[in-house]
Structure 1
Amino acid sequence: MNDGEVLAGGVANAGSIIRIGDEVRRPASAQTELVFSLLEHVRSKGFTGVPEPLGRDAQGRERLRFIPGEVAIPPFPRWSLSPGLLASVARLLRAFHDAVADFVPPANARWNTELAHPAGGQIIGHNDACVENVIVRGGRAAALIDFEFAAPTHPLHDLAVLARHWVPLETPEDAARDGRSGLDVAARFRIVADVYGIPFGAKREEFLDHVVAGIHRSGPFVLARIARGEQAFIDMWERSGGHDRIARRIAWIDSIRSELSMALNTA
């Protein structure tokens, strides 16, 4: 039975993330202790844009300090589409990457790598910096939440995930379905690269490579959970258009790749 306020957002843990006073309780996982050590490390480096871990409760759930603010969920409100907010999200992820750069996990660490870059990478990234996983205060990104997919990854893969969700990198038809019509995709994509601090030239093309490759790989994560019978993912798949939406997104990103490259590299 829920013993507090159910917090909205998310798919995998929908309905099971509870606020009790100034704490959030959420289901624990095999990665809970790893994630707690990660959060403690970046907070020790002065980065407070992540929840403070508080241990476990009597039911074995994770206990985290509640972070006040707003979280945008579909259909996305107009305030969540501002260029200033987009820039602040990219800035927040860069600050997290800087803080996590010297984090050394245990040699036997077993992360959930479902959303990480297939080849791993040199940092432990968030890997799921979607709109619903960012706390917003005063029109600016205040914190990243939901670190269950944190794992070794490439920093530009982590940023590519952010761009896919926040620009968003969707066909106009599908973006409109979530309340995000009429946005200048190329300009917003450029904001992400500029604010994160990607140098002009080869590094920006590498970032674009990560974006395109990630979109081409999309689908298996959700399909695996559908195969396990997870109803929340079945519902999301059907609601979002399933295979047809993925096929549209792949064809669309390939068709505008040159436009995005020009936007990234025009001084």
Structure 2
Amino acid sequence: MTAENEAADSGALVGGMVNAGAVFRRGALVERPAPRTARALHTHLLALKEHGFDAAPTPVRLTEDGREQLTFIPGDVALPPFPRWVTTETALRSVGSLLRRLHDACTAIGVDACAEWPRDLADPEGGTMLCHNDVCPDNVVFRDGRAAALIDFDLAAPGRPLWDVAMTARYWVPMLDPASAAALYPAGLDAPARLRILADSYGLSPRERAELPGVIEQATTSCRAFVADRVAEGDPVYVQALSERGGWQRWDRMQSWLVAHHETFVTALLD
């Protein structure tokens, strides 16, 4: 999870958690630790280009020391606490449209069944399309206030398109209780209205709209398990983040809030 920007032609790129401090820009290239699925991912990214999706990095090569090189995508990436410009209605609609474009290309490509895709944030029901699974503000490149590209496909795995929409909604609506949202997002965001905007811009069907709040609850449970695994392993980044952001009480509060407002979200999506 690493953000990119146009601040310099070379040097470390700031942002993210998993690869913080290990991602560098080298002119027109980005060099970063290669994920375990790098070869399959590189094939997938190249196939995206062939199917008309040009809003993702182009893989260049894998190095002998376990790193990968990809093309640098110029633009603006928001880092937490997130600025107002990344929460505008225009920004939100552009994210939904960009995700739909990605999914249309991914559906045409299919999934490499031989690759051992990560299960960390993967759809527990699986699927025949490769989901990004981490479309957070840190991983979306903006130009002129609109989402222009997606980066960091490290957690990509097979799943349902609706799962990826749910994961995206968690970050972009955001689907957080007010206290949790206030720590990272500007005040005054209307979650039900923003969820409807995301669904409209993506083009969800009535059936998918009715299912979305429940899938968001399911995705939140998976995200909690992801954090729990990292904390149990003693990952200092996640241990610190858990402590600074309210501990497990915050996760309890988020999950209770989602369940309590389930029908409100369904109504907002279907009315």
**TM-score interval (norm. to shorter):** over 0.9
Q: CA deviation at 1:60?
A: 3.2
Q: CA deviation at 1:240?
A: 1.4
Q: What is the rounded CA distance, in whole Å, between the counterparts of 1:258 and 1:16 in structure 2?
A: 43
Equivalent pair of 1:218/1:246 in contact (CA under 8 Å)? no
Q: What is the rounded CA distance, in whole Å, between the counterparts of 1:159 and 1:145 in structure 2?
A: 16
The correspondence for 1:214, drawn from 215, 219, 226, is 219
Equivalent residue of 2:162, what SS? helix
Counterparts in 2 of 1:104 and 1:155: CA distance versus 1, 3 Å? closer
Q: CA deviation at 1:122?
A: 2.0
- Residue 261 in structure 1 maps to residue 241 in structure 2: no
Q: CA deviation at 1:58?
A: 5.0
List gaps (5 residues or longer) in structure 1: none
Equivalent pair of 1:34/1:105 in contact (CA under 8 Å)? no
1:173 counterpart residue number:
179
- Residue 96 in structure 1 maps to residue 102 in structure 2: yes
1:126 counterpart residue number:
132
Q: CA deviation at 1:176?
A: 0.9
For 1:119, the aligned partner's letter is E
Q: CA deviation at 1:262?
A: 0.9
2:230 counterpart residue number:
225
- Residue 240 in structure 1 maps to residue 249 in structure 2: no
Q: CA deviation at 1:187?
A: 0.6
Equivalent residue of 1:141, what SS? strand
For 2:42, the aligned partner's letter is F
Runs (4 or more) in structure 1 with deviation over 3 Å come to: 57-60, 104-107
1:12 counterpart residue number:
18
- Residue 252 in structure 1 maps to residue 246 in structure 2: no
Equivalent pair of 1:115/1:221 in contact (CA under 8 Å)? yes
1:197 counterpart residue number:
203
Q: What is the rounded CA distance, in whole Å, between the counterparts of 2:240 and 2:10 in structure 1?
A: 25
TM-score normalised according to structure 1 size: 0.95
For 1:221, the aligned partner's letter is F
Q: What is the rounded CA distance, in whole Å, between the counterparts of 1:106 and 1:72 in structure 2?
A: 32
**1:86-165 correspondence to structure 2 within 5 Å:** 86-165=92-171
TM-score normalised according to structure 2 size: 0.93
Equivalent residue of 1:80, what SS? helix
Counterparts in 2 of 1:106 and 1:197: CA distance versus 1, 3 Å? closer
Equivalent residue of 1:108, what SS? coil
Q: CA deviation at 1:67?
A: 0.2
Equivalent residue of 1:102, what SS? helix
Equivalent residue of 2:18, what SS? coil
For 1:257, the aligned partner's letter is H
Q: CA deviation at 1:43?
A: 0.9
Equivalent pair of 2:214/2:262 in contact (CA under 8 Å)? no
Equivalent pair of 1:22/1:66 in contact (CA under 8 Å)? yes
Equivalent residue of 1:14, what SS? coil
Q: What is the rounded CA distance, in whole Å, between the counterparts of 1:106 and 1:216 in structure 2?
A: 26
Counterparts in 2 of 1:258 and 1:29: CA distance versus 1, 3 Å? same
List gaps (5 residues or longer) in structure 2: 1-8
Equivalent pair of 1:113/1:152 in contact (CA under 8 Å)? no
- Residue 49 in structure 1 maps to residue 59 in structure 2: no
1:60 counterpart residue number:
66
Q: Which range moves more in the overlay, 114-123 or 64-73?
A: 114-123
Q: How many residues align?
A: 263
User: What RMSD in Å do the two structures reach over aligned CA positions?
Assistant: 1.4
Identity of aligned residues (%): 41
The correspondence for 2:36, drawn from 26, 30, 34, is 30
Q: CA deviation at 1:42?
A: 0.6
2:4 counterpart residue number:
none
